[in-house]
Structure 1
Amino acid sequence: MAAMAAGDEHAASEVLRGLARHLNCLNEDNKSTRKRALELIKRETVDKGLSSSVLQEVFSALLKSLLKCLSDPMERCRETAITVITEFIRCVPKPEESLPYLMPCLAQRLGEKEILEPAEELRLSAVEMLTLSVEVCGKHLAPYLNEMMNILQRTIGDPFPDVKRESCKCAVKFAECVPEHFHMQAESLVKPLMQTISHQHSRVRVSVIEATGAVIQHGTGKNMDDVLSHLAQRLFDDSPQVRKAVTVVVGDWLLHMRDRYSYFHKLIPLLLSSITDEIPEIRFLAADLWKQAGAQWEKENEDDIKDKMDFLLTPPPFYPAGVERPGLGCRELVVRNLGRLVPAITHDLTDWLVPTRVRTSQLLSVLLLHTEDHSTQHLQPLLATLYQACTDTEKEVVSNCLAAAKLLGTFVPPVVFLKLLLDHVTTPSSSSHPWTPLMVLAAVLGGCPKPLLKPHLEQIANTLAQPDVCQEYQQVMYLEQLLACVDVLLHQCDSDCGSVSLQVLQVLITVQSLSTEPHLIEKALESAQLLCKVQGLDSRMELYRQHMGQLLDWLAASVNTWSSYSPQRLQLNIIVIQSGPVIGEFVSQLMPLLRCSLQSDKDPEMRMSIFTMLAKLLLDATNTLDSQGHFREESEKFLCNVLLPNLVWRAGRTAAAVRTSALSCLLALLHGGAITPGQLLCLEEKLIPLVLSALDEDSQMGRLLACRSLSTTVRLIGTSLHPEALNKIYPELLKRLDDSSEEVRSVALQALGLWLTSLTKDYNPEFCTPHLQFLFQQLLLHLDDPDSSVQEQVLEVLKKGSLVHPTLLRREVEAVRDQQRSPLYCDQLLQHISSLPTETTAE
């Protein structure tokens, strides 16, 4: 051995003797000389394949000179010097002997406030040399903790991305080499790492995350809070490799960090967030790490959970199908930290960044799947969080939170969640978003198993049917959620919904009455059809027949307080229109409702809307109100007690509008056949004066309806009227021949034609000659109307008049023939009179 050592010393002396001149040249001013000298030193040493012991001797002798070259003005010289030193460190058996000289030099070059090495590539080579030193020197670097930390603080923030990455790699290796010393200054690297963690290069971000993992793992743990928010942001990174790095680091902390129990509540959300990552590899990695963490915790706390073991291993009833139940350790980890996790979830669900809210909403479902029925004790804050999240503009956040709400329905007993939820539905805390409790209720009910939900069906349906719930708000969103709750009940409980059929129908009627959106009305009708189906009913008519009495009682309870703003008048409209012929079976119950709501002192707008509704029904009376012939029995009272009082003249435009709507209802009653001529005749003394009065209405529509109503009345009972009653009608109709509306004039002429044809033998033409003479004279004036269509219509009316008193008419025509602009129509009329049978003319 001594001989070998002597031989190595001799060989080393020979090499050094040969390098003496080159070493001297390193001090020359000529940069080319220095460069050539360094290259020759490299060729004669590391390139020559000398034995390790010889290299060690040579390296010790050359080190100071080579380190001096690290500050050479010439970049090529510095590069060669770094290369030579790196190769020596790699090859010598005791590289740690160089540390007393190497570390101060590198600390000066790289660890000062201003990095002295200007060349990026050379800084990279220098840091790579430092990494190599860590690898080969290991624990020998412990005395140089300050120098290492100074260098890494600067180089982690280096402008050159590759230097950042190499520095992170170096930090990881250094932490692993001297953990018992590293922790004393680990926190000094946190700030530069966090400043670099969002670097634009994904590979740099990955390196920073890996370094952060080592720094926290081998540090004191005090800086955990400083890094967690940054790591959480990286879970939204566009690069899957970055997200994977976070997953690995967090999983490693959960498994190996000394003080991990103190940080479970902060680490669990990060790892569980990766379980919902879009990349399968990351999801599987996170799930595997989580299983390991749960199994490890289970093993470490075996004594603590021994008593619960059997109970906790049995899956709860109605567990979601197709979902793998997390292990016992995983569930216990979440359960024991849920109290600290819920506030964090609540906070992050209101974050201004959409990706944060989306990922948090996904995490909520994962947590609830772990906590199972333990979420019951946190139900109040969880519901408040869900209400808030349901107002999010991002649809994915809302759908994720509703999925979480469904899990609450699966695991929390209905008696518990209904107590809170139904209170919130009845009195929503948010006036701007009152629909959120309904939205959450629908989701929770959707997750609740049918056998558990059935006993509470009536309580739920009664709440939904409360006026404060189903009639209070008209927002589309609110009504949609109301329908969603109904739909969930129908789908979840199907045939059991027969017990709450009335309440469900009331809700569906209310939604239709309040909504102006076609899609909502259609959805409500579909739900009504489903309600029929679950009860085995053939149609909606059957459904209404089943509940019509109760529905009318429901409306009657509040009829005295109805106004134009009352939803009940709209509900009445839906009920009577949609029930079709069924309403005819309940006329005796409907009529008091109509009489009360249509009293002349009631809200005018409400009366107008009800009259409009009745007009539609009365036009098709045989298929609606009079389907059973019962309305005909009531029609006389209806006309006398309801319609006629609303035809009495009152001042004001609103009163006029009410009269117009009442006239439309009267016309529909007369046309639809729901009143007999005999019943009409009994009321003619009350009816006809009011209709005649309406012929002077300011509104064209009012005059038109009055004309038509009078025309129909004359058609129905004209032949039965007393001559005196008849003689009161025609003068008012004649006035309408000068109406500003061509349509009113036309209808008035039709009415006069009907009046003339209704004159029977009881109407003595000779006795009534003054009336007929006045009528003929007025009609002859209009026979000269500028409008030829009016002339032709008047001619037809006068032809009917010729059958009543032809002699009088001939005389009147002859008297005015020469005064008219054209005798054409007079001649036609005279010709028509001449063509009449002799006995008629003689009369």
Structure 2
Amino acid sequence: MELSGSMSTRRDGADVDALWSEMTRSEDQHKDAVKRLLQRSMAEKGARKTKDKTSKRSVAQLALRGLGSAATVSHALKNEKVRDADPFVVTRDLNRLSDESSATRRQAALALERHFLSDDVPDDVLDPALFAEMAKPLFKRFNDSVEKVREVCVRVTTKFVARQEDLLSILPYLMPAITRRIQSQWSYDEENQVFTRDQFVHDAFKRGRIAVDADQVRRVKPSEPSEEIRLLLLQLIDALLTNAFERRASSILHAYVFDMLLLLVAAVHDDFHEIKIAGCALLREISKHMVSVMKHFTVAFVRAVKPLLHHRLARVRLAGLDCIQWLVVCPNVEKCKGSGTDAIVDLLGHRDENVIPIAAFYTPEVRLNSFAKLDQDANPQVRRAFYAMVQYWMKHLPDRYDHESRLMPYLLSAVTDELEETSRDAREALAALGRMHEAEQGEEVLEMKQYGLDGRNPSFNYSKRLPPPFLDDRPSLGTRLFVRSRTRRFLNPILRELENWQSPTRAHAVRLLKTVLVYSEEHVTGDAHALIDTLLRVWDDDELQRQPKDNEGRSHLQDVADLTGRFVAPKTYMPLVLARLHGETAVVGQIVTPEMIATTLEVLYFLMDGSLDSALLPHAQEVVEAVSGSVILEFQSPRLNTALSRLLHQLASLLKRRGRDTVSAYFLEHGRLTSLELVYQRLFEAAMIVRQRGITTATKEADGALQTLSDAEGLGDEAQLMEVHFDASFDRAAATLIGLSDVQWAPTRPEQLLIDALVTCSGVVVLTSSEGRTTRVLDCLRRCATAQDGDDARDTPRLIANKRLLDHVLQALPTDDAQCIADQHVSECARAATTPLDQADSKAAAA
């Protein structure tokens, strides 16, 4: 026992001696290190003084040599001096970053900036091994109170992370540093697939509490006040993701991806537009490379990015569109669909009619169609990006069949876009979709082609040139089948938008309607009643009647009427239009106005202009009888008479081209014969009445109608036309006038105007060509000029007007015939005349 104790004591003494010698040796080494450091500092101080003296001499020498002013050279040498005077030491500057003095930390940050962030930094400076020592001190300074320190640390970290090979070693420290600085306040509701800022209020909202969005109540101040630093942090995340994706190491990010997504939600809602753009770009890249993770959050992110589509800056709207495009198509292979397609209805502002949220009973609810606003965006590039997104979805979405009818209106809108490139791309996309439809429905399309079941109906006009931008490029059968099967769903909303209170919406609706008619062709017949009724209601809209530059003097609304006439048979639209011309109470109501009739005539003109002649011939007599009725001819409106004269000219041209087939076509359609002479007679009378009114625009068209009618009847000129129709027209008008009282008579009555036109426009040859014509004319005029209500009506305008016609006829007749007829007329007038004034008028007429 004593021996063992002595041995233990001896061993403890040896250990103490060893420890003491080691401590002494460490102290000596420390003194040697301090001595070397002091010697180096003294040497650097002497070199600094020598260099200062040399610099002063160098400034003077360079200035004398003419290499620049003394101030310029001094500034250059000063920068060089700063670089050389304080040599960069990584360990020292990293330690200075943790100094309590903000000035010291700032100087250290500037040193790091000069060393790592200058333009001419060699590659060996950015050594990954060096970053392993620098990483933690840099990450700690992300929360520094000095903005410059935070900026430099984030930028240096970004530069190293972009080149780092071993990301796994720094991720556990980097991501907490970023999230601690940004401190995203957002959380994710998996059940409703939305991001919410206040989880407590959101849970209460799900239980039924009325809550208002926090963005509408107050603005949340970000934890990082500097917009530039927040943007740099996003660029750091971008560098991290890019490095991982390039190395195909995205799996190492799975543990931190949720934190990244919450940071990106905050970025999307940030006030700085550059941060919004950067956040959208990061979401797009994550959607492409991390599908297995992102597919669970795409719907929520689409709803979060949706407000960016209404941002005032076009760049932000473009970034939002690009982000949403890839979020929606992010594949969900298990369900064979795009993982974000459920959010398309949110973008459209759509909700089923039988779904009403409880909150809608207590708070106002506004649903906004974001796609409709993008469709009418003032920036052409935004519209083009939007249309490109829709085209991409309709081609590549796995579940595109569920959304084609919702997206089709926006793709068709691109066809008539003001930008030619956008319109061309849209037509090419529709053609590609048509080829895809033909490939999928091959047997059906082949059968229709072989049996001619589409595009060969003799009642429709397929050969006429289409309006711009189609012109001679008729859509293929597959494209027409693809489009028309989806247009019935949104045709009625388009018709309603034609009466919208906003003029841009109406202008857009009429362009879209024109495109729908081009692709639907004869399948629009099922909605002809609603289409024509809407045309008649909105025809007088100045915005819709505005003529584009490239449309050959026609407005889009006139093109719509023309296309309706092409692809709707006349037997379908004639009853709808002629009911208004007949003044049916069930259609027009109790009051018939000239504006209403003028609108109907103009619409009918364009409908007939688009129809085939063979389809119009059976209805030519109906149209002539309708437009030559007293309901229309009694109005003196210049617009109505101009529209009527154009329609008469159109009918005369139709009879000139196919007049011989009118009787047979009428018989085949109605099962009974008709007289073509009656059609010519009514057309002649209506044209004469319109011309007699003296309206400049109407007179020219009426002259053309009469000339065309004479050619249709095989007559040489208007005199022969007058000779053929004089007797029947005069007798018909005179029979009506004679039975009228002075109260019913007016100088603008159609019958009076017809007699005036026949008498004043007929020459001597016409008046004297047949036996008894002159006597019959004068007798009729005498009876019309004789007062029917007694002596009180002697000086009425009717009496004066017919006396004037008598005077005109007597002056046109030969002298012998005029004297004989005048004597007889004087005797008749003398019986009725009782005052000297009447006798003087009778003598003047006889003379």
Q: Which residue of 2 aligns with 1:259?
A: 399
**Cα separation, partners in 2 of 1:80 and 1:416, compared to 1, 3 Å:** same
| Structure 1 position 599, deviation (Å) | 4.4
Q: Secondary structure at the match of 2:499?
A: coil
Task: Give deviations 1:184-232, integer Å, cap 9, x for gaps.
Answer: 4334444554433344433333222222323444453333244343333
Q: Is the Cα–Cα contact under 8 Å of residues 450 and 493 in structure 1 kept in the other structure?
A: no
Q: Which residue of 2 aligns with 1:363?
A: 512
Among 62, 66, 91, the residue aligned to 2:138: 66
Please say if 1:119 is aligned against 2:263: no
Task: Give deviations 1:469-498, integer Å, cap 9, x for gaps.
Answer: x22543332222222222222334424458
Q: Could you tell me how far apart the structure 1 residues matched to 2:659 and 2:626 are?
A: 15
Among 324, 329, 333, the residue aligned to 2:482: 333
Q: Secondary structure at the match of 1:434?
A: helix
Among 617, 621, 646, the residue aligned to 1:484: 646
Q: Which residue of 2 aligns with 1:666?
A: 842
State the AA in 1 paired with 2:281.
K
State the AA in 1 paired with 2:717.
S
Q: Is the Cα–Cα contact under 8 Å of residues 612 and 664 in structure 1 kept in the other structure?
A: no
Task: Give deviations 1:250-293, integer Å, cap 9, x for gaps.
Answer: 11121123332233233222222222223222222222222222
Q: Could you tell me how far apart the structure 1 residues matched to 2:455 and 2:418 are?
A: 31
| Structure 1 position 87, deviation (Å) | 1.9
Q: Could you tell me how far apart the structure 1 residues matched to 2:153 and 2:241 are?
A: 19
Bigger relative CO (Cα 8 Å, ≥ 6 apart): 2
| Structure 1 position 380, deviation (Å) | 0.9
Q: Could you tell me how far apart the structure 2 residues matched to 1:148 and 1:552 are?
A: 92
Identical-residue share of aligned pairs (%):
22
Which one is further off, 221-230 or 76-85? 221-230
Q: Is the Cα–Cα contact under 8 Å of residues 272 and 366 in structure 1 kept in the other structure?
A: yes
| Structure 1 position 96, deviation (Å) | 6.1
State the AA in 1 paired with 2:533.
A
Please say if 1:131 is aligned against 2:310: no
Q: Which residue of 2 aligns with 1:730?
A: none
Q: Which residue of 2 aligns with 1:794?
A: none
Among 556, 561, 567, the residue aligned to 1:411: 567
Q: Which residue of 2 aligns with 1:567?
A: 750
Q: Which residue of 2 aligns with 1:549?
A: 727
Among 279, 297, 309, the residue aligned to 1:185: 297
Please say if 1:521 is aligned against 2:708: no
Q: Could you tell me how far apart the structure 1 residues matched to 2:280 and 2:843 are?
A: 91
Q: Could you tell me how far apart the structure 2 residues matched to 1:642 and 1:132 are?
A: 111
Q: Could you tell me how far apart the structure 1 residues matched to 2:151 and 2:429 are?
A: 44
Task: Give deviations 1:135-160, integer Å, cap 9, x for gaps.
Answer: 34455455656544443444334443
Q: Which residue of 2 aligns with 1:34?
A: 105
Q: Is the Cα–Cα contact under 8 Å of residues 782 and 802 in structure 2 kept in the other structure?
A: no
Among 61, 78, 84, the residue aligned to 2:150: 78
Among 281, 287, 294, the residue aligned to 2:427: 287
The count of corresponding residues between Structure 1 and Structure 2 is 639
**Cα separation, partners in 2 of 1:210 and 1:22, compared to 1, 3 Å:** same
Q: Which residue of 2 aligns with 1:750?
A: none
Q: Is the Cα–Cα contact under 8 Å of residues 756 and 805 in structure 2 kept in the other structure?
A: no
| Structure 1 position 425, deviation (Å) | 3.3
Which runs of 5 or more structure 1 residues have no equivalent in the other structure? Answer: 1-17, 650-658, 672-843
Q: Could you tell me how far apart the structure 2 residues matched to 1:248 and 1:576 are?
A: 68
Q: Could you tell me how far apart the structure 2 residues matched to 1:37 and 1:249 are?
A: 48
Q: Which residue of 1 aligns with 2:681?
A: 502
Q: Is the Cα–Cα contact under 8 Å of residues 649 and 701 in structure 2 kept in the other structure?
A: no
Q: Which residue of 2 aligns with 1:201?
A: 313
Q: Which residue of 2 aligns with 1:471?
A: 633
Counterparts of residues 205-244 of structure 1 (less than 5 Å): 205-218=317-330, 219-228=339-348, 229-244=369-384
Q: Which residue of 1 aligns with 2:386?
A: 246
Q: Is the Cα–Cα contact under 8 Å of residues 597 and 607 in structure 1 kept in the other structure?
A: no
Which one is further off, 292-301 or 99-108? 99-108
Q: Could you tell me how far apart the structure 1 residues matched to 2:284 and 2:527 are?
A: 41
Q: Could you tell me how far apart the structure 2 residues matched to 1:380 and 1:104 are?
A: 67
Q: What RMSD in Å do the two structures reach over aligned CA positions?
A: 3.6
Counterparts of residues 381-400 of structure 1 (less than 5 Å): 381-394=530-543, 395-396=545-546, 399-400=555-556
| Structure 1 position 557, deviation (Å) | 4.7
Q: Which residue of 1 aligns with 2:622?
A: 459
Q: Could you tell me how far apart the structure 1 residues matched to 2:169 and 2:443 are?
A: 52
Task: Give deviations 1:579-601, integer Å, cap 9, x for gaps.
Answer: 34334553344355435544423
Task: Give deviations 1:591-623, integer Å, cap 9, x for gaps.
Answer: 554355444235999984444444444444356
Q: Secondary structure at the match of 1:396?
A: coil
State the AA in 1 paired with 2:419.
I
**Cα separation, partners in 2 of 1:98 and 1:621, compared to 1, 3 Å:** same
Q: Which residue of 2 aligns with 1:437?
A: 600
Q: Could you tell me how far apart the structure 2 residues matched to 1:492 and 1:68 are?
A: 89
Q: Which residue of 2 aligns with 1:161?
A: 273
Q: Is the Cα–Cα contact under 8 Å of residues 268 and 304 in structure 2 kept in the other structure?
A: yes
Q: Secondary structure at the match of 1:545?
A: helix
Q: Could you tell me how far apart the structure 1 residues matched to 2:795 and 2:708 are?
A: 34
Q: Is the Cα–Cα contact under 8 Å of residues 785 and 803 in structure 2 kept in the other structure?
A: no
Greater C-alpha radius of gyration: 1
**Cα separation, partners in 2 of 1:496 and 1:629, compared to 1, 3 Å:** farther
Q: Could you tell me how far apart the structure 2 residues matched to 1:359 and 1:542 are?
A: 51
Counting helix residues as a fraction of each chain, which structure ranks higher? Answer: 1
Please say if 1:601 is aligned against 2:780: no
| Structure 1 position 641, deviation (Å) | 4.4
Q: Could you tell me how far apart the structure 1 residues matched to 2:710 and 2:626 are?
A: 21
Q: Secondary structure at the match of 1:344?
A: helix
Q: Is the Cα–Cα contact under 8 Å of residues 209 and 231 in structure 1 kept in the other structure?
A: no
State the AA in 2 paired with 1:206.
L
**Cα separation, partners in 2 of 1:103 and 1:557, compared to 1, 3 Å:** farther
Q: Which residue of 2 aligns with 1:576?
A: 759
State the AA in 1 paired with 2:481.
E
Which one is further off, 316-325 or 334-343? 316-325
Q: Is the Cα–Cα contact under 8 Å of residues 565 and 610 in structure 2 kept in the other structure?
A: yes
TM-score between both structures, scaled by the size of structure 2: 0.67
Among 227, 249, 263, the residue aligned to 1:151: 263
**Cα separation, partners in 2 of 1:570 and 1:123, compared to 1, 3 Å:** same
Q: Could you tell me how far apart the structure 2 residues matched to 1:595 and 1:168 are?
A: 91
Q: Secondary structure at the match of 2:285?
A: helix
State the AA in 2 paired with 1:286.
A
Q: Is the Cα–Cα contact under 8 Å of residues 145 and 182 in structure 1 kept in the other structure?
A: no
Q: Which residue of 1 aligns with 2:334?
A: none
**Cα separation, partners in 2 of 1:148 and 1:399, compared to 1, 3 Å:** same
| Structure 1 position 379, deviation (Å) | 0.9
**Cα separation, partners in 2 of 1:80 and 1:51, compared to 1, 3 Å:** closer
Q: Secondary structure at the match of 1:261?
A: helix
State the AA in 2 paired with 1:79.
E
| Structure 1 position 447, deviation (Å) | 1.3
Please say if 1:621 is aligned against 2:809: yes
Q: Is the Cα–Cα contact under 8 Å of residues 107 and 150 in structure 1 kept in the other structure?
A: no
Which one is further off, 432-441 or 315-324? 315-324
Q: Could you tell me how far apart the structure 1 residues matched to 2:571 and 2:521 are?
A: 16
State the AA in 2 paired with 1:285.
D
